[in-house]
Structure 1
């Protein structure tokens, strides 16, 4: 997403996407590659895993920190709703006030306190080449190097999302080389974290640029530890488009997450049901946009009203409590004591396992369910305390 006070440029190309699904698919499974070194969040066999090798499927929320730095309770509030990941908007100083190393450290601390994985992203790159105010991926890499001290030692808890939506619609062919160069710069500076790279075309990749070049970008990372992120708004308004795009990565052994999506947008009506269902069926992560603070006509993307965790919007209720939503599918990272835990999806503070099937196992709605011949707690319910 752009800054909340401006709307996204409508992205065209529905028919083009369909053609690309046939012509620009990845050239066969990316087999025989080296894998990321063990330790910290990393990629293994095309999947995001933790340092212990346990699969980690992101179920997260975007939080617009750089525009709302006073909303210090948001990460804790998001965690309390059951998310296992928070994607935090930062600024490199190119367009907004630079997020300082001390702020980065504090944000990581908040994520760890809430027992969520922190995906940190530089937002200044949004629409580079089309938006004259945007900064380059190379400049974003310089920012990450400048805050390296805050990131070191946090590889188990932090994913570095190099730059948000780093190219617009007019110069997207430059994405591949620019992304490879930024990755090389960060690795050369000694940053060994899992890296996340956003697609061009304002994140939506309607041109298929990321889809058809992902294998070469992954291979260019000496750590083989790069995760790809697509943002699904109006371009993805049918289940077929959602499935085709995500399957192109999963089928070729390349790690993919849906780094942003909503239930409606100015450029079309995204199929959020298909996005969430497909992600769940494929074991792919998703991170919804966004907790609160949207403006410029896209206020409907707020999950809660006025940063109030007790005031869910219709989108927020769908996202957290609906089919394939956070409550039903999110599992806490094992680094925080969660994970599969014998198929329970983690343990609630009261010592009972979380319900794998969420609210579906709780017909009377009191927060207590019954699975595998024992009581379980619905994550985020009144019983989860």
Structure 2
């Protein structure tokens, strides 16, 4: 009998939870949660596809950054704010301006307070209760923006000390915000620096959701080194889906100092489950995690390998993002594609790169960007993207003919028909200098991994325009990530080819690139390098 009563009790609990999650508590003034899904103000399912931007440290970059983020096809931006406890205060006027710019770019704005990061473990971090006081102080900026803004109470609001306090503190923060009159969908981050390795958020999410009088709370997990296997990612996300509790991946990257997250599974699983994700972060990272920058120096034309993966890769932003319907014209979503771009023309052709230009497309709601493809028969391969009507494609082989074409896309995710094609024949190889010098150093090393920095100096009499540097490892090292160059490996031989902004090396000039590699046992420095086939000295 005891077992039977337990089963009945479980069934009743499940029924209560379903009643809590199926129907929003009130008419939709903005985003709501229904049946475990995030719904926009029109009642349509909304799946976040976006990027984090560190506004509080780079306020002068925000205007252009939001335009560039929108050009990737993103439908959401998560914006870092400060309560003034650890960094410069973002006051109501500043927040009003941020929201206005999000709306101008037809982005949903997730606003978060960063001062809570690592509370009770990180020096200076503040509590969720303090974050609530900040939200109350800027409530004038938030009022009436429920269709466009999601309120993320505090970033990673507990470290690895005292994290069991997360549950009650989160409930208290939610009820305090509701009592103050906030009608927004509320997002809550997990403890354990956002990664919830102790499963505090996972196991208490139902009670936290039930504590919201409006039943309008979304949970956010940050996936870095804790989530380094497909099994861990799938188990965590599926538990929320099964319980009909809304979950998004609020931060993640393709590498981290605490381990190597399985980003391919994060992309694939969020897409298959139709869950949101927000990549960390657009640009400006420091403190040893610069590899998490999606673009270099806030320059949208300089995608890093992580940016390329997140934006243009399988299940990435460009392929899966759909604009929130609150920004659609009329009563339904925009389904009108842009006109086809003009046939591209080529200039600046070298042995490894070419610049393509084309005339602009037109669209009823505006063109958000262009996709360049390499055409071979009936097969197309992504070759780059641009927010403007020109781009430089790199990584080409010498003395080879390529065929390129362009598509336009709009903010709703519609894609034009293909432009005409252009054939580009690259120059002969051998663009290396008469002499070159390579400086290779291990910038940092840890068990099983290391960071390498490489500098190429042109000591010859002719400029280098496009290059490939090669060396052979002696101890089986491999590269997992690079910046400033695109790396490929065949056996023990590593090939590093310039990206757009490192291709030119003037006489007496130099360029540098870096990488994250792995080693086992011995990590000796290579002693022989070739640049475009020419041997280099080592410095």
With over 3 angstroms needed to count, the CA separation of the structure-2 counterparts of 1:205 and 1:214, relative to structure 1, is same
Deviation at 1:363, TM superposition (A): 2.6
Is residue 203–residue 230 contact of structure 1 (8 Å, CA) maintained in 2? yes
With over 3 angstroms needed to count, the CA separation of the structure-2 counterparts of 1:316 and 1:339, relative to structure 1, is farther
SS in 2 for 1:32: helix
* Residue 181 (structure 1) aligned with residue 164 (structure 2): no
1:1-385 equivalent positions in 2, closer than 5 A: 30-33=17-20, 35-37=24-26, 38-71=28-61, 72-337=63-328, 348=338, 350-351=363-364, 363=380, 366-368=405-407, 377=415
Deviations 1:30-72 (A, max 9, x none): 3111524222011111100111110100001000010111113
Structure whose residues are more often strand by fraction = 2
**Structure 1 segments (4+ residues) deviating >3 Å:** 338-344, 346-349, 351-354, 358-362, 364-369
In structure 2, distance between residues paired with 1:290 and 1:362: 32
Q: Which has the higher contact order (CA 8 A, sep 6+)?
A: 1
SS in 2 for 1:187: helix
Structure 1 residue ranges without an equivalent (≥5):
1-26, 370-375
SS in 1 for 2:68: helix
Is residue 359–residue 378 contact of structure 1 (8 Å, CA) maintained in 2? no
Is residue 328–residue 334 contact of structure 2 (8 Å, CA) maintained in 1? no
With over 3 angstroms needed to count, the CA separation of the structure-2 counterparts of 1:254 and 1:296, relative to structure 1, is same
Is residue 333–residue 339 contact of structure 1 (8 Å, CA) maintained in 2? no
Is residue 337–residue 416 contact of structure 2 (8 Å, CA) maintained in 1? no
With over 3 angstroms needed to count, the CA separation of the structure-2 counterparts of 1:382 and 1:304, relative to structure 1, is farther
Deviations 1:202-251 (A, max 9, x none): 00000000000000000000010000000000000011110000001011
TM-score (norm 1): 0.85
With over 3 angstroms needed to count, the CA separation of the structure-2 counterparts of 1:330 and 1:219, relative to structure 1, is same
SS in 1 for 2:102: helix
What is aligned with 2:515? none
Equivalences, count: 347
Structure 2 residue ranges without an equivalent (≥5):
1-12, 339-361, 383-404, 409-413, 421-539
In structure 1, distance between residues paired with 2:213 and 2:406: 46
Is residue 289–residue 301 contact of structure 1 (8 Å, CA) maintained in 2? yes
TM-score (norm 2): 0.61
Is residue 362–residue 378 contact of structure 1 (8 Å, CA) maintained in 2? no
Is residue 91–residue 97 contact of structure 1 (8 Å, CA) maintained in 2? yes
What is aligned with 2:476? none
With over 3 angstroms needed to count, the CA separation of the structure-2 counterparts of 1:306 and 1:52, relative to structure 1, is same
Deviation at 1:132, TM superposition (A): 2.5
In structure 2, distance between residues paired with 1:155 and 1:241: 34
In structure 2, distance between residues paired with 1:48 and 1:227: 8
SS in 1 for 2:277: strand
Structure whose residues are more often helix by fraction = 1
In structure 2, distance between residues paired with 1:96 and 1:189: 25
In structure 1, distance between residues paired with 2:316 and 2:165: 35
What is aligned with 2:351? none
What is aligned with 1:373? none
Aligned-pair Cα RMSD in Å? 2.8
What is aligned with 1:5? none
Deviations 1:108-149 (A, max 9, x none): 011001100000000000000111310000000000011000
